[in-house]
Copies of this chain bind each other. A is one copy, B any other.
Amino acid sequence: MNKKIRIKDIAEMAQVSVGTVDRVIHNRGEVAEDSYKKIMAILEKTGYKPNLLARTLGSNKTFRIAALMPNPAQDEYWEQSAEGVKQAEDEWTQYGVEIRPYHFDLYNKASFASQAQNLLETPPDAVLTAPIFHQEALNFFRTCGEQNIPFVVVNNTIEEGGSLSFIGHDLNQSGRLGAELLHLSNTQPGTYAILHVYDDVHNSLHLNEKEKGFKEYFAEQNGGGFKVISRDLNHTHEPSLEKELNDLLSDASLRGILVTTSKGAFIVSRLIEKKGKNGVRFVAYDLLKENLHYLENGIIDFLINQNSKRQAFIAISQLANHLLFKKDALPTYLFPLEIISRQNLKSYLHTGR
């Protein structure tokens, strides 16, 4: 691994000019058979690595990345995500990467489609998106594919993707983890509930994965004898939600509750607080401000951190690396499933990034 071989060096060895070497490196033709082979051989032998600094400096391009994400004003989870995008922007603007956000309405499929349309009118060099709406996302991905626009996906996968990379969690494992945290040293059999609390529309595929993991975990526990119940709760109609929840809580055999949506956490927390929490373990998702409050006062026992901020940050970085340095991203980048308790919470809030 010799160091510091420049194009110039290659040129000298091959007895040609730098221009010629450059042409074969970017194989844009106009090079004689002979020279081509000769240069290729030397390129191989020396293991030439271009100086990426000089490369991106020299090719004075500027790349545009579009971020098609939910409106951050609608949801703190997506607000954090937007922060991640901004953070990545700070890091990459100096390299000539420009990020344009396109926000769609989290509760409106049509808005996703129309923003996607918007986006494609001035096609960016790459795209980041959270495919909340399955069908609409598929359509969008298809056109991206046709137009050769690389894209990465956060939050939840879409199988038929064609994406450069998926960045997020193993949702099945996530459900299992939730189950484990509820089960922990509750040796007696009992009932465990998994609740999907959502607004108008929701991403059922996404939540199903968690539920599957949750159920698998309890099925695997020796002895069995666990009762697992699952509920879909629409929180826009609060009274019925409250009733449903009260029924649940009055079941004496109930040992634990997992709420799969980040917003659901504090909605359920409120009700639990009202009713009193008697020995039921409660686990939920994400470090939203309200959730932290309920973690601190003991209503929530554990939070699983999905770290939407970092997801977005990494996603943009992958795209930037792809565009600038031609480094390809891992097809799936799974985040650690971070367990947050009262005692390690601070250590997650302080960290620089």
Contacts and interface: CB of A to CB of B under 8 A. Distances in A.
Interface of A: 3, 49, 51-54, 56-57, 93-95, 169-170, 173, 176-177, 179-181, 184-186, 217, 281, 330, 333-339, 341-344, 346-348, 350-352
Contacts of A347: 169-170, 173, 334-337
B344 A339 contact: yes
B341 A339 contact: yes
A187 B186 CA distance: 12
Q: 10 closest A-B pairs (Cβ-Cβ)?
A: A337-B344, A339-B339, A177-B343, A180-B343, A337-B347, A53-B53, A336-B348, A176-B343, A53-B57, A177-B344
Contacts of A343: 173, 176-177, 179-181, 217, 337
A182 to B, nearest CB: 10
Protomer copies: 2
A330 B351 CA distance: 10
Contacts of A49: 94
A346 B176 CA distance: 12
A131 to B, nearest CB: 21
A217 B330 CA distance: 41
Nearest to A307: B336
Given A177-B341, A185-B281, A344-B339, A94 B52 contact: yes
Contacts of A217: 343
Contact of A336 (B170, B184, B186, B351): B351
A91 to B, nearest CB: 10
Given A53-B94, A334-B351, A338-B339, 5 more contacts: A52-B94, A177-B341, A185-B281, A330-B352, A334-B350
